[in-house]
Amino acid sequence: MEDVYLDEHSTIADLERHLCWMLWYTTEDQKMLPLETYAMAILECLYTQQGAAALSDIYLYVEGRLGEMMLTGDRNRLPAERGPRWKNRVRQCKRLMIEKGYLKPSRVQGTWEMAALGYLALTDVLINIRAGCDDCHLNFGGIDLRSKSNGH
């Protein structure tokens, strides 16, 4: 099965191929939610907290929002970690979201703050939902956390 990468021109069929590819090449204990899923939950949390929140508040929100959706790999622990892998994925997501401009670099240690692009991404999802977009929950507001250096 060939690797499939998604972008703004992707179709539902592309998404299905991508998901099949992900499931084909991962074992059950490695399967995790995409980082974009975490990104949307983080943006939702920050929005409900007037644009800024402490990491502990983000953890609580993400666990409540995504808890039932989390896969085995999200809940597993890596040997060197003190908590479940999903918490590491939240922190990894922060770094990528800052690089992509969705979050502002921290001015106060432990506080995460949404940038203008984060508000735009969240607004895009809400507009699509109100317009009756059937797959708007799949495009994550156009959030793309892939590295530009990987050539895709």
- Asked if residue 120 and residue 89 are part of one domain, the reply reads yes
Q: What's this model's pTM, rounded to 2 decimal places? A: 0.70
- Asked if residue 46 and residue 99 are part of one domain, the reply reads yes
In the sheet that holds 111-114, the strands lie side by side as: 52-54, 111-114, 103-104
Nearest to 41 by CA among 110, 132, 141: 141
Q: What percent of the chain has pLDDT over 90?
A: 30
**What is the domain count for the chain?**
2
- Asked if residue 47 and residue 60 are part of one domain, the reply reads yes
- What is the structure's pLDDT at 51? 94
Provide the pLDDT confidence category of residue 149 given band limits of 50, 70 and 90: very low
Burial 57-86 (b: 16+ CB within 10 A, else e): bbbebbeebbeeebbebbeeeeeeeeebbb
Residue 150 has pLDDT above 80, yes or no: no
Residue 137 φ/ψ, nearest 5 degrees:
-75, -10
Residue 23 has pLDDT above 80, yes or no: no
- Asked if residue 24 and residue 59 are part of one domain, the reply reads no
Nearest to 58 by CA among 110, 135, 109, 123: 110
pLDDT, mean over the chain: 76
Range of the domain at 16: 1-31
CB 83 within 8 A of CB 77: yes
pLDDT tens digits for range 67-103: 999 988 888 887 776 788 899 899 999 999 998 899 9
Question: Is 152 part of a structural domain of the chain?
Answer: no
- Asked if residue 103 and residue 75 are part of one domain, the reply reads yes
Residue 94: both structure tokens together: 């922060």
- Asked if residue 5 and residue 78 are part of one domain, the reply reads no
- Asked if residue 102 and residue 46 are part of one domain, the reply reads yes
- What is the structure's pLDDT at 1? 38
- Asked if residue 128 and residue 75 are part of one domain, the reply reads yes
CA distance 129 to 53: 25
- Asked if residue 72 and residue 50 are part of one domain, the reply reads yes
Q: What is the CATH number of the domain that holds 123?
A: 1.10.10.10
